[in-house]
């Protein structure tokens, strides 16, 4: 995987601190699988809810050699949305790596 992740901000100001957190979390994903070809994180404000208040969305797109993974999480805090999205992505990458490992040992 390339060292940096494509980070896209929609309707938000770019944050160097948030970019650093995203790059660290993406680097952590490479520990679980070396099959990651492409990764992109989109941060945006989907729409305003009268009852929920301002919501932020963190969407992660990963391509693991033919196995695309897409995760999106909404929260009132952009940091929480990013953390939860990466947590879910990490779980999915681990599951995929485990399935690949099991298939190799079955043959």
Average pLDDT of 6-11?
A: 94
Q: Is the pLDDT of residue 38 over 80?
A: yes
Tokens of 30: 């490479």
pLDDT at 73 over 60: yes
The pLDDT of residue 86 is above 70:
yes
Q: Is 6-106 a CATH 3.30.160.100 domain?
A: yes
pLDDT at 18 over 60: yes
Give this prediction's pTM.
0.87
Element (H, E) at 105: helix 78-106
- CA-derived radius of gyration, the chain: 15
User: 64 exposed, middle or buried (CB, 10 Å; 0-12, 13-18, 19+)?
Assistant: buried
82 contacts: CB under 8 Å, gap ≥ 6: 18, 21, 22, 25, 41, 43, 58, 73
- Whether 47 has a pLDDT exceeding 70, the answer reads yes
């Amino acid at each position: 995987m390339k060292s940096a992740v494509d980070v896209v901000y929609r309707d938000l100001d770019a944050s160097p601190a948030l970019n650093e957190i995203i790059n660290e979390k993406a680097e952590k994903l490479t520990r679980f699988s070396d099959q990651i070809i492409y990764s992109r994180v989109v941060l945006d404000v989907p729409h305003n809810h009268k009852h929920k208040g301002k919501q932020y969305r963190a969407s992660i797109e990963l391509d693991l050699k033919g196995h695309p993974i897409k995760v999106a999480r909404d929260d009132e805090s952009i940091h929480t949305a990013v953390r939860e999205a990466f947590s879910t992505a990490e779980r999915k990458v681990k599951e995929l790596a485990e399935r690949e490992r099991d298939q190799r040992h079955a043959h």
